[in-house]
Amino acid sequence: MSKLKKKNILQLAQNYSRFGPRAMFGQFMLEIAKKNEKLMVLSADLGRSSGLDRFKKEYPDKYLSVGISEQNLIGVAAGLAKEGYKVFVTSFAPFLSMRAIEQVRMNLGYMELPVNLVALGSGVSMGFLGNSHYGLEDISMIRSIPNINISSPADGIELKKILNDYASNNRGPSYTRLTGIPGSPYVYEKDYKYKFNSYVKLKSGKDLLILATGSIVSQALIASKLLMNKKIDCTVVNLNTLKPLNNNIHKLINSFKDIVTIEEHSIIGGLASIISEIISKNKLNPKLLNIALPDSFDKSGSYNYLLNYHGLTGVKIAKRVAKFLQN
């Protein structure tokens, strides 16, 4: 890859970070619309929140708002998918994963209609809007339904690759989880080849395996650098596909004695549970530390305040991992 291309990727990563995942979703849909005559993008009165203002103006025939009616949103999307349209649906994470869960279960899971759900504001990124808008349980809800893929991009570079992959292939129904806010750190400073149902090893080390997903991957990388100062050499893996999980992940886990999972999701039903299930199924015996949001309703506050409060910053992750290794 040329130096110019490497520089362009870095600039893109910086720009995507600056605007945040919701704004970039709208921009990426504009790019996909140029290549896909059958694209339809649906929202439930959240076009502006989804970064779709420009999309609505440039492609009015490819955009539909159903009003504040998320259950109807899924039904309409399923009907369009049945007629051969490439459908992307966007709303806040709890509205897609809980308010419309029966429709998601039957129309997407049971009927396997290829609707691509894009969940805004997953984790605690909705900040001051509080528990009605937090997506703390969405992975656990969606992954309990058969036949639905779950993607969790680490930054804007990866989000673009995931959306393009779903737009270009018929992978069945999907749920893409957007975490982070404008200004959240980016992960990828150079290009890489995205592969569905895989994982990305961002750093190799011999002492510890860190498995992370979503925008919190950036904090896992920060923690790994701090741990290196203490002579703790970490492997850091970005699990960008949570369902179906890569078939070889148990082999990776089995090559380490100490494992840490990090996620911006409830400790129940998310990455911690996924990895624990893999360990149990394959009769593995690593020492395991799960770093996640607690099994409780949360307080309201700024995004960065909440990450710090829950110990999901690089500094606090490093301290907790170091203590874990001492025990």
Per residue in 21-41, pLDDT tens? 999 999 999 999 999 999 999
Query: Which residue shows structure tokens 């708002």?
Result: 65
CATH architecture of 3-177: 3-Layer(aba) Sandwich (3.40)
Domain coordinates of the chain in residue numbers? 3-177, 200-326
Band of residue 1 on the pLDDT scale cut at 50, 70, 90: very low
Query: Which residue shows structure tokens 């999901």?
Result: 312
Mean pLDDT of the chain, nearest integer: 95
Per-residue pLDDT tens digits for 61-99? 999 999 999 999 999 999 999 999 999 999 999 999 999
Which residue from 99, 97, 110, 109 is spatially nearest to 176, judged by alpha carbons? 97
Per-residue pLDDT tens digits for 174-221? 999 999 999 999 999 999 999 999 999 999 999 999 999 999 999 999
pLDDT of res. 7:
60
Contacts of 31 (CB under 8 A, 6+ apart): none
Rounded CA-CA distance 186/135 in Å is: 21
Rounded CA-CA distance 144/105 in Å is: 9
pLDDT at 160 over 60: yes
Q: How far is CA 196 from the centre of its chain?
A: 13
For 172-186, the DSSP string reads -SEEEE----TTPPP
Is CATH 3.30.930.10 the right assignment for the domain spanning 200-326? no
pTM assigned to the model: 0.95
* First vs last C-alpha separation in the chain: 44
Per-residue pLDDT tens digits for 221-261? 999 999 999 999 999 999 999 999 999 999 999 999 999 99
Rounded CA-CA distance 37/250 in Å is: 41
pLDDT of res. 4:
38
pLDDT of res. 2:
40
Query: Which residue shows structure tokens 């509080």?
Result: 130
